[in-house]
Amino acid sequence: MDAREANFPHDPHLDARAKKATERASENMHILVNDPSLALYRMQEHIRKSLPPTVERRAEVVQLHQQLQGHCYDAEYAINAVKAMQKAEPIFSNIQELLRNSLFFRQQLLYEEKRKSEKRETSMYKRLSSHISLDLTDLPDLGDAWRETASRVESAFAHARSSMVDREEKAEHRRSAAN
């Protein structure tokens, strides 16, 4: 026996406890040494499983963001178009007023033409030529000549009136276009 063993009595219970404590310490040391490796392995495994779906989701989000931006640009364009239409309202009101005026003037012209055509039928020259009856044997064609002359004078006056109306219409058109 050793000198140390001689001084200390051999205790099997103490030996079992010491052996158990050293095993636990060894096991804890083994866990502490291998724990970072195990943690990195678990992280790698988690990343390998969750990264592909995450990348797919990110691509979907990017695509949705682009679509959303396109829709926002469309909405802004539509808002600007509506605002531009609101600014054009006075122009459309002016056009509407000009159309009303043109319809009114057209009705006036139609009324004037109708009135003139009624006057033409009861023309003074026509009435005069229809009452003229000459029994002069020397001038048998004089009544026809008077009717023909009356007809020509009537057509000249009608032509003069229509050209005057045309000039008035053109002048009115220029005035309305200037306004």
DSSP states along 74-133:
HHHHHHHHHHHHHHTHHHHHHHHHHHHHHHHHHHHHHHHHHHHHHHHHT-HHHHHHHH--
As given in the structure block, the two tokens for residue 145 are 């000549």
42 pLDDT above the threshold of 90: no
119 pLDDT above the threshold of 50: yes
Cβ 165 vs Cβ 112: under 8 Å:
yes
Mean of pLDDT values over 107-120: 82
Mean of pLDDT values over 101-120: 85
- Mean residue pLDDT across the chain: 80
Query: How does pLDDT run across 134-179, given as a tens digit for each residue?
Result: 555 555 555 666 677 777 778 777 777 777 778 888 888 877 777 6
pLDDT score, position 1: 47
Cα–Cα distance list, 168 to 160, 171, 172, 175 (Å): 12, 5, 6, 10
Mean of pLDDT values over 61-70: 96
As given in the structure block, the two tokens for residue 31 are 């866990």
pTM of the model: 0.34
Determine the Cα–Cα distance for residues 113 and 107; give it in Å rounded to an integer: 10
